Amino acid sequence: MVSKRKKKYESGEGNRYVSRKTALKMLQLSLKDFRKLCILKGIYPREPRNRKRAQKGATGIKTLYHLKDIQFLLHEPIIWKLRDYKIFAKKMGKARALRDFETIKRTLENRPHLTLDHIVKERYPSFIDALRDLDDCLTLLFMFSTFPSLQHVPRDQSALCRRLTIEFLHAVIASQTLRKVFVSIKGYYFQAEIKGQTVTWIVPHQFCFVPQSTLEVDFRVMSTFVQFYCVMLGFVNFRLYHLLNLHYPPKFAVSSADATEKTLVDEEAFVSERVAALNVPLFCTGRDTTAEEEVEIDQFPMIEDPTKLEEIKQEAEKVKKHKTLFKGLKFFLNREVPREPVVFTIRCFGGEVSWDKLLFVGATFDESDESITHQIVDRPSLGKQYISRYYVQPQWIFDSVNARELQPVEKYFLGAVLPPHLSPFIDKTREQYVPPEERALEDPSLAEMNPEKEETEEESETDEVEKKNESENEGEMLRNEEEREDGNESEIHEKDKVREQKKKRMSVSMGVVAREDPAEKKRQERQEYKLREKMIKKKHRNLYRSMMKGRAERGKEAWLLQKKRRLHDEQEKAKHKAEKKEKRMKAAADT
């Protein structure tokens, strides 16, 4: 039997990809619903190896999807819900036009509800998979929790984001899994280790909301992401609270003694505010898990190398001490200090914190409490001060957390010029810019010198250079005089020198170790490196080129940052010299 000959673009990449227009016809959806469905299911456009074959010879650039992904969407039950929404919108529009309020009420009661539980279980089969993809989820939800009611961002969604993020912060506080904090112009970077997975997220600064035009940000697409991430974070919070033996949704261990029916008009609102304070321990449903955590720390995998085993033990001990960094310390926050990130950081490391009770609910002690050890102030001066406590700036908390030890408070007093706030997210294995302050912390011998010491050293260096030049000039004069006197004697002993040279040529000399030429060695290494590059397989060359391109970009970025820092240091140095010169001139004029 003769097999049928395949036509062009019926196999290979021509049959592997479909355009977005074809996908819309297959699914019978509008572009808005198709985008929403792809976001919820985690399907995104693909880049083919050969675009001409994938587009079946069509010119231009089309948005392409895998055919298997679109066939996978054909069996999704959400498609029917999206079609029900379309029918619901038509009925509502018709009833509003006719002002049929009974139909509007009945239609609203039977409104279709979109459930995403099965999609979360499908995309994240295990809890660890959800933790790995939690970075973008937390960052987006923390941002949306600060939004007011917008056109495509309903108020209920922002309130839900706020509730879920506060619940997650309580879980981190209870488990003491926070490891790093960094304050930048974007917001507060937090990093926690949950079940062996590193989770990093950004909390924006508490500024007034500035409305954006619809052309700059597509809030409809972002709101779809938030809709999925809310369900996902709800699953994660429930699992975290279950592992920590906490009641979910959060409840308090002891209710307030002053809480009566008259004071608590809305119990739910009161509880939500107390939970948002991040200052009250939550209700525990069972046994304490601290003993289990200590047992888990002492368990190590089978490692043959004793040095690695010792390093793991030392790191575990450091982490254990790091969790109780602020234990036994009491902090009081002034009004100007950002309350939520500072309270969250202090509570994660075992400290007690409070603030003015008129500022926010949840204050546990007043400013007059004599047991307060540190008061966090972010202003140049303060009127009333207590001798029994330290008055430090908020950066002291974050620097102490990153350094894993309490920093000296002298550098963070009121009105003091703060030391540089260094990022703890520097990867030492990758080629990137490391500021001199970071290198000074790792190696104290590289500590940066003061500008005054640098100037005195430069002045001493110039004096030494002048002395050397004078001594060299005197030496040249003496050499010229000696050469004139010895000119006649050299003619006499010229024959004797010729004889001695002939004798040296006839004698046997010792062997000398040949020195390697560094330039020749580098050239040979470069040639060997190029030969190794040629040995890379064809299927791995594109990956290798992208890796080398990324390395070159990181090297360029590090070089630009070094240049920027060098220019800044030169400007500061020149400024300091000018100020010092002005002081000298003023002193000379006064004398």
pLDDT in tens, 103-157: 999 999 998 888 999 999 999 999 999 999 999 999 999 999 998 877 778 888 9
CB-based contact 375:409 (threshold 8 Å): no
pLDDT digits 0-9 by tens, 358-378: 888 888 889 988 899 999 999
Distances (CA, A) of 281 to 251, 348, 364: 9, 12, 12
Omega within 30 of 0 (cis) for the link into 249: yes
**Alpha carbon 142 to chain centroid, angstroms:** 15
Burial class for 322, CB neighbours closer than 10 Å (0-12, 13-18, 19+): middle
Instruction: Please tell me the least confidently modeled range out of 297-301, 435-439, 546-550.
Output: 297-301
Chain position carrying tokens 């009974």: 102
Alpha carbons 398 and 341: distance in angstroms, whole number: 10
pLDDT recorded at residue 207:
81
Alpha carbons 13 and 51: distance in angstroms, whole number: 9
Higher pLDDT, 398 or 285: 398
Question: Is 59 among the domain residues?
Answer: yes
Q: Residue 169, CB half-sphere, CA atoms under 13 Å: how many?
A: 27
pLDDT recorded at residue 38:
94
Instruction: Please tell me the least confidently modeled range out of 101-105, 308-312, 578-582.
Output: 308-312
List Cβ neighbours of 360 (8 Å cut-off, separation of 6 or more): 277, 339
Most confident option among 278-287, 294-303, 323-332, 449-458: 323-332
Percentage helix, strand, coil for the chain under 3-state DSSP, each rounded to 5 = 55, 10, 35
Closest C-alpha among 181, 226, 185 to residue 205? 185
pLDDT recorded at residue 276:
83
Question: Is 479 among the domain residues?
Answer: no
Question: Is 471 among the domain residues?
Answer: no
Instruction: Please tell me the least confidently modeled range out of 120-129, 146-155, 220-229, 435-444.
Output: 435-444
pLDDT recorded at residue 373:
93
pLDDT recorded at residue 510:
74
User: Do 99 and 169 belong to one domain?
Assistant: no
Alpha carbons 112 and 502: distance in angstroms, whole number: 111
Q: 348: domain CATH number?
A: 3.40.50.10190
pLDDT recorded at residue 90:
92
pLDDT at 293 over 70: no
374 three-state secondary structure = strand
pLDDT recorded at residue 468:
61
Distances (CA, A) of 323 to 177, 192, 304, 376, 569: 8, 12, 29, 21, 37
pLDDT recorded at residue 589:
86
Total count of domains within the chain: 4
pLDDT recorded at residue 262:
43
User: Do 269 and 333 belong to one domain?
Assistant: no
Instruction: Give the CA angle between residues 74, 78, 84 to the nearest 5°.
Output: 110
Higher pLDDT, 447 or 205: 205
Residue 405: domain span: 326-446
Question: Is 408 among the domain residues?
Answer: yes
Question: Is 288 among the domain residues?
Answer: no
Q: What are the tokens at 123?
A: 């995309």
- Mean pLDDT to the nearest integer, 228-245: 94
Strand partners, 240: none
Confidence category of residue 301, pLDDT binned at 50, 70, 90: low
Question: What phi, psi does 203 have (nearest 5°)?
Answer: -110, 120
Chain position carrying tokens 């540190």: 374
Instruction: Please tell me the least confidently modeled range out of 67-71, 256-260, 313-317, 421-425.
Output: 256-260
Q: Convert 67-120 into a string of H (helix), E (strand) and C (coil).
A: HHHHHHHCCCCHHHHHHHHHHHHHHHHHHHHHCCHHHHHHHHHCCCCCCCHHHH
Alpha carbons 454 and 193: distance in angstroms, whole number: 43
pLDDT recorded at residue 264:
44
Question: Is 469 among the domain residues?
Answer: no
User: Do 132 and 268 belong to one domain?
Assistant: yes
User: Do 246 and 134 belong to one domain?
Assistant: yes
pLDDT digits 0-9 by tens, 445-503: 665 444 444 445 554 555 555 556 656 665 565 566 566 556 656 666 777 777 777 76
pLDDT recorded at residue 270:
62
User: Do 230 and 346 belong to one domain?
Assistant: no
Alpha carbons 454 and 299: distance in angstroms, whole number: 51
Burial class for 427, CB neighbours closer than 10 Å (0-12, 13-18, 19+): exposed
Buried/exposed code over 378-395 (b: 16+ C-beta within 10 A; e: otherwise): beeeeeeeeeebbbbbbb
pLDDT recorded at residue 125:
93
User: Do 391 and 252 belong to one domain?
Assistant: no
- Mean pLDDT to the nearest integer, 504-521: 77
Instruction: Please tell me the least confidently modeled range out of 300-314, 329-343, 416-430, 513-527.
Output: 300-314
199 three-state secondary structure = strand
Residue that terminates a domain, selected from 446, 471, 504? 446
User: Do 379 and 331 belong to one domain?
Assistant: yes
Sign of CA dihedral 70, 76, 82, 87: positive
Distances (CA, A) of 46 to 51, 133, 538: 11, 20, 22
User: Do 40 and 87 belong to one domain?
Assistant: no
Instruction: Please tell me the least confidently modeled range out of 2-11, 117-126, 331-340, 466-475.
Output: 466-475
Higher pLDDT, 17 or 284: 17
On average, the pLDDT of the chain sits at 83
pLDDT recorded at residue 341:
94
Region at 12 (left for phi over 0; alpha for psi -120 to 50; beta for the rest): left
Alpha carbons 289 and 291: distance in angstroms, whole number: 6
193 three-state secondary structure = strand
pLDDT at 88 over 70: yes
Question: Is 346 among the domain residues?
Answer: yes
Distances (CA, A) of 573 to 45, 194, 212, 419, 567: 53, 46, 42, 18, 10
Question: Is 314 among the domain residues?
Answer: no
Closest C-alpha among 357, 348, 352, 347 to residue 330? 352
Confidence category of residue 298, pLDDT binned at 50, 70, 90: very low
Residue type, 427: D
Strand partners, 188: 183, 203
User: Do 36 and 134 belong to one domain?
Assistant: no
DSSP 337-370: S-HHHHHHHHHHTT-EEEE-TTTSTT--S-TT-T
Q: What are the tokens at 410?
A: 């002298």
User: Do 157 and 49 belong to one domain?
Assistant: no
Alpha carbons 409 and 391: distance in angstroms, whole number: 8
User: Do 125 and 272 belong to one domain?
Assistant: yes
Distances (CA, A) of 166 to 272, 274, 285: 9, 11, 19
Alpha carbons 418 and 338: distance in angstroms, whole number: 18
Sign of CA dihedral 36, 37, 41, 45: negative
User: Do 250 and 384 belong to one domain?
Assistant: no
pLDDT recorded at residue 435:
79
